[in-house]
Structure 1
Amino acid sequence: MSAAVYVISTVTGYVLTSAFLLKYPSLLHRRKKEAFRSRHISHRGGAGENLENTMAAFRHAVQLGTDMLELDCHLTKDEQVVVLHDSNLKRSTGINAYISDVAYADLPPYLCKLGVTFKRECYCEGGDDKRIPLLRDVFESFPNTPVNIDIKVNNDILIKKVSELVVQYNREHLTVWGNSSNKIIKKCYKENPQIPVFFSLHRVLLLLGLFYTGLLPFVPLKEQFLEIPMPSIISKLKDPEHQKRSQLYVQSDGRSFEWNFALDWNVIMGLFYWSLFFPFKPQVYVWVLNDEEDFKRAFDLGATGIMTDYPTKLKEFMEKNSYTK
């Protein structure tokens, strides 16, 4: 047998085996049980309708019927797990101090008005609730609501204490945690593999490489959630006027698509397509979307859930357009 024939037969066999296992992944991998499925996700509790990461925001989102609360965690000087996005208190409270240097009892309240990170030139004004809450407050108040926890710093004590709280309140089946950092994800999984984790940025890139090289069926994956930004959202936040001027149209089967739609399609579907065949069908969350055209685009592209600062707007859109469970 010549070398060329050997190479061709080997490659053909590999491609066919990979394709077969993509279609029947349970032959190699045990199907994981899905604890919950979330379509409507309130980013920081709904940062466009109430002050972010406050109990008022979480209560409002839960009363609306959100499927999941997304929040961020830090550790105070006296090792209390608090719900807060920034490591420094300046943006949220006006006090230039790091959360890790302040005891919980000494934390200042939120400012009365905060900018909405993922909505240009928009601000949210708060009511009476300006207190930075503890994670245990959220768990006690919403025992049946899934919570998505972003571990904001690479801190072993923080990770351990969050895990202990999840176990204490019997929420391993209602929690997903992690960070874009692969180091933090690894520590979370090592600390408590019973709590589902989402893909870090490093693992997302690895996932794409495995899929397009045909290696994905042979590699076990511990993650159950994909959380990805929509590319067009990033450009919209940077310069919405430039985005409008630079829209290009391409023809495909007689239909016109905006360039940004094509970019979103390539990124989101490249990540989502493989999950159609994988045994545990990971959930794909797109963040952070705050306009109806973006809601529609994400759901039409196949996203299983949308993270938003405006839970009321997303709920009304889903009900009006039948994007319900």
Structure 2
Amino acid sequence: MFVIFISGSFVFCYAVASLIFFKFPALLHNKKDVKFICRHIIHRGGASENYENTMTAFKHAVSLGTDMLELDCHLSRDGQVVFSHDSSLVPRIEVSGHIADFDYDDLPSLKEKLPIDFMPGVLYSGNSDDRKFPLLEDVFKAFPNTPINIDIKIDDDELITKVSDLVNTYERQHLTVWGNMKDCVTQKCYKQNPDMCLLFSARSVVLLLLKLYT
């Protein structure tokens, strides 16, 4: 009976303490100096309303008042940071190959008509300028005050360095989040530029949930 009483008391105290700390987390942790508040993120620039990772998509997203743009980065053969979800050109381009196979100026344009991934039956029809793969630098210039979430799509030290250099050049450390689902890539990002915020890798998400519920 005594053991049951002790166990019950422990569970009760644990539950009450958890509720208190959930309600008042500052009792355990200092409040972080948050650079910006983000409640609404446009994935790939708004892939259900425009063709993903295009300037048209990003301009539309900002006009709607989004808090953050999300995009994906790759390197061209001559070291330009291009944003695109996939490294392969197929099926968006008439020719086969990968972004890394071409110098930036030689990258072919998107097809004139493309299906929008998250809007079945709807086709994207972009002008000649918008069909060109945009550069990360273009987005920094167009939206200097908009927070941007950069997914480093591949484990590439040169890509990580180039992105970091661009962020520093445009003084966007406080407005830029980067990383990858792979923890090894995210850790490389942190070592390269610890002043930038990090994405949660899959490993970090699991650890966060374990810590939250224990």
**Letter of the aligned partner of 2:144 in structure 1?**
P
Question: 2:101 — aligned with what?
Answer: 101
Counterparts in 2 of 1:115-130, with a 5 A limit? Answer: 115-128=115-128, 129-130=130-131
Tell me the CA shift for residue 21 of structure 1.
Answer: 4.4
Tell me the CA shift for residue 152 of structure 1.
Answer: 0.8
2-structure distance, mates of 1:162, 1:10: 53
Tell me the CA shift for residue 37 of structure 1.
Answer: 2.0
2-structure distance, mates of 1:12, 1:95: 64
Q: For 1:37, what is the secondary structure of its paired residue?
A: coil
TM-score (norm 2): 0.84
1-structure distance, mates of 2:108, 2:206: 39
Question: 2:207 — aligned with what?
Answer: 206
2-structure distance, mates of 1:33, 1:179: 23
Question: 2:184 — aligned with what?
Answer: 183
Q: What's the RMSD between the two structures over aligned residues?
A: 2.6
Question: 1:74 — aligned with what?
Answer: 74
Q: For 1:82, what is the secondary structure of its paired residue?
A: strand
Question: 1:62 — aligned with what?
Answer: 62
Residue 165 in structure 1 maps to residue 166 in structure 2: yes
Q: For 1:90, what is the secondary structure of its paired residue?
A: coil
Q: Is the 8 A contact 1:48 1:124 kept in 2?
A: no
TM-score (norm 1): 0.57
Tell me the CA shift for residue 95 of structure 1.
Answer: 2.1
Q: For 1:60, what is the secondary structure of its paired residue?
A: helix
Identify the structure with bigger relative contact order (alpha carbons < 8 Å, sequence gap 6+). 1
Per-residue CA shift, 1:270-318, capped at 9, x if unaligned?
xxxxxxxxxxxxxxxxxxxxxxxxxxxxxxxxxxxxxxxxxxxxxxxxx
**Letter of the aligned partner of 1:113 in structure 2?**
K
Identity %: 49
Tell me the CA shift for residue 23 of structure 1.
Answer: 4.4
Number of residue-to-residue matches in the alignment: 210
Q: Is the 8 A contact 1:48 1:123 kept in 2?
A: no
Q: Is the 8 A contact 1:51 1:113 kept in 2?
A: no
Tell me the CA shift for residue 113 of structure 1.
Answer: 2.2
Per-residue CA shift, 1:115-156, capped at 9, x if unaligned?
333344443222332110110111011111111111111111
- Name structure 2 gaps, 5 residues minimum: none
1-structure distance, mates of 2:13, 2:172: 42
Are the structure 2 counterparts of residues 162 and 8 from structure 1 closer, same or farther at C-alpha, using a change threshold of 3 Å?
same
Q: Is the 8 A contact 1:93 1:109 kept in 2?
A: yes
Question: 1:292 — aligned with what?
Answer: none
2-structure distance, mates of 1:40, 1:28: 28
Per-residue CA shift, 1:97-118, capped at 9, x if unaligned?
1112211111111112223333
- Name structure 1 gaps, 5 residues minimum: 215-325
